[in-house]
Chains A and B, each alone.
Chain A
Amino acid sequence: MEATIHHALLTLASSLEGVDAVEQLARSFALLAGFDEHVVSDIALATREATVNAIIHGNQQHPGKAISAELDLTAEELVIRITDQGEGFQPEEVPDPLHEDNLLRSSGRGVFLMRQTMDDVHFSKHNTGSTITLRKHRT
């Protein structure tokens, strides 16, 4: 396991007002990692999508539930974990947004965009909620 160079943990209420703060934190870490602006923007977008997902789908915007954003920058990669206190969801159950029947849907592109912009996206469920882990390799 690579030693962490930079670490941050942000805990927020289940409100969309906090999404920008998480996105900005991810952007800051991506800049620290030395990614170019195109990749920084991708990381910010994936983090935004994961955070919105946690607040809306994970916690159902329940005021009594929190989300956390944990960021670790190592020599090899940037890891972003967004954790909610919800029941979780099955990403494979999300309809394929590229399917002809779904192109005109107004939602359902978040997970797809995460996967398109990051090197690895992992969904896990645990006793107290669910975590989306986003990874971007530095080399």
Chain B
Amino acid sequence: MEIKIRQVNGVTVLDLSGRITLGDGTGQLRSAMQDALAAGSKKILLNLQDVTYIDSAGLGELVSGYTTVKNAGGELKLLNLSKKVKDLLVITKLLTVFDIKDDETAAIASFS
């Protein structure tokens, strides 16, 4: 997996591409979110547009990130889910947990 980090109007956007699976993918994602929090970012947007595949460990990492950011007083939102990833969030009921956006401008504006 590759992660590119951008700052847009006070929001840290992580552009993820590739596979979020047990091992390198989940480890990279965890590190990137921890680094963003350590740098003082409390508004994190995960752009999953180019995520091709995610397994249960990847879903778990998204959940852990959500919880970690929330406990730090921040917000974590998801952007641009592929149909496959969205389907997985539906069947695992995680669609009810995350704030999911499909437009970046609207997503950035939605952070408090």
Chain A residues packing against B (C-beta within 8 Å): 16, 19, 38, 41, 44-45, 48-49, 52, 97-98, 103-107, 109-110, 112-113, 116
Task: Check B97–A104 contact: CB distance below 8 A.
Answer: yes
Instruction: Tell me if B22 is interfacial: C-beta within 8 Å of chain A.
Output: yes
Task: Check A103–B56 contact: CB distance below 8 A.
Answer: no
Which of B22, B59, B92, B93 has most chain A Cβ within 10 Å?
B22
Given A104-B67, A105-B60, A107-B60, check contact A112 B55 (CB 8 Å): no
Residues of chain A within 8 A (CB-CB) of B66 are: 104
Q: Can you name 9 extra interface pairs (CB under 8 A) apart from A104-B66, A106-B67?
A: A44-B53, A49-B56, A52-B55, A97-B93, A105-B60, A106-B61, A107-B57, A109-B56, A112-B92
Task: Check B60–A106 contact: CB distance below 8 A.
Answer: yes
Residues of chain B within 8 A (CB-CB) of A105 are: 60, 63
Instruction: Tell me if B94 is interfacial: C-beta within 8 Å of chain A.
Output: yes
What does the 1/0 interface line of B54-94 toward A look like (CB < 8 Å)? 01110111011011000000000000000010001001111
One of B55, B56, B64, B93 near A98 (C-beta < 8 A): B93
Total A-B residue pairs with C-beta atoms closer than 8 Å?
Answer: 53
A78 to B55, CA, bound (A): 21
Residues of chain B within 8 A (CB-CB) of A104 are: 63, 66-67, 97
Task: Check A106–B63 contact: CB distance below 8 A.
Answer: yes
A17 to B29, CA, bound (A): 19
How distant is A37 from chain B, measured CB to nearest CB, in Å?
A: 9
Residues of chain A within 8 A (CB-CB) of B63 are: 103-106
Task: Check A109–B84 contact: CB distance below 8 A.
Answer: no
One of B53, B57, B96 near A41 (C-beta < 8 A): B53
What are 12 A-to-B residue pairs whose CB atoms are below 8 Å?
Answer: A19-B23, A44-B53, A45-B53, A52-B56, A103-B93, A103-B96, A104-B63, A104-B97, A107-B57, A112-B92, A113-B91, A113-B92
How distant is B67 from chain A, measured CB to nearest CB, in Å?
A: 6
